Structure 1
Amino acid sequence: MSIYVGNLSYEVNQEDLNEVFAEYGTVKRVHVPSDRETGRPRGFAFVEMESEASEDKAIEALDGAEWMDRSLKVNKAKPREDNRNAGGRNNRF
């Protein structure tokens, strides 16, 4: 499972997030999605930690916290739904 981190500064990078979340346990992976056209971070990230207990501690401590002049939104990441086949059509005859 991973943690969704939203409302991030566009200046944030993986190292910044790794440093903050490491205070709550071992960080396995940090992913900061970037815009395909501009290459800039999109303002959110996903953090994967070694244990669920560490994730819970980080969520409790950081959700709503001020960091880089932003109020963080931190919660359990929801599984991504595969909507690639939707395409705006309902596939009825």
Structure 2
Amino acid sequence: MKIFVGNLSPEVNEQELTALFSKHGSVGNVKIVRDISNQMSRGFGFVDMPRKVDAKKALKTLNEFELKGKKMSVNEAKQERDRNSAGGGKNFSGRRR
């Protein structure tokens, strides 16, 4: 299960998130989203936990957990919408015939 982790302190790194979430089960990929120009944390990231039962335990325990002075927001990640879709599968150009 992919978990969204928001309201992260800029000082938090991937290794710290891995250590924190691994207390609740197996952890796969951990990614903190960074600004492309300066590589500073944008204050959120994602943690993959292969076992749903472990992920649910982490969600319950770590939501509003304080890490480096900030209370994290921990939720199940929402699936990203396809940015190339035109909405509903129909191609609207805005022109009338």
TM-score normalised by L of structure 2: 0.85
State the aligned residue count. 90
User: Max radius of gyration: which structure?
Assistant: 2
Aligned residue in 1 for 2:70: 70
Percent identity for Structure 1 against Structure 2: 36
Q: Where in structure 2 are there 5+ consecutive unaligned residues?
A: 87-91
Q: What residue is the counterpart of 1:9 in the other structure?
A: 9
Which letter maps to 1:12? V
Counterpart residue number, 1:91: 93
1:9-88 maps to which residues of 2 (within 5 A)?
9-84=9-84
Q: CA RMSD of the aligned region, Å? A: 1.4
Regions of 4+ moved over 3 Å = none
Report the AA paired with residue 54 of structure 2: S
**Unaligned 5+ residue runs, structure 1?**
none
Amino acid paired to 2:94: R
Q: TM-score, normalised by structure 1?
A: 0.89
Deviation string 1:61-80 (CA, Å, 9 cap, x unpaired) is: 01011111001100000001
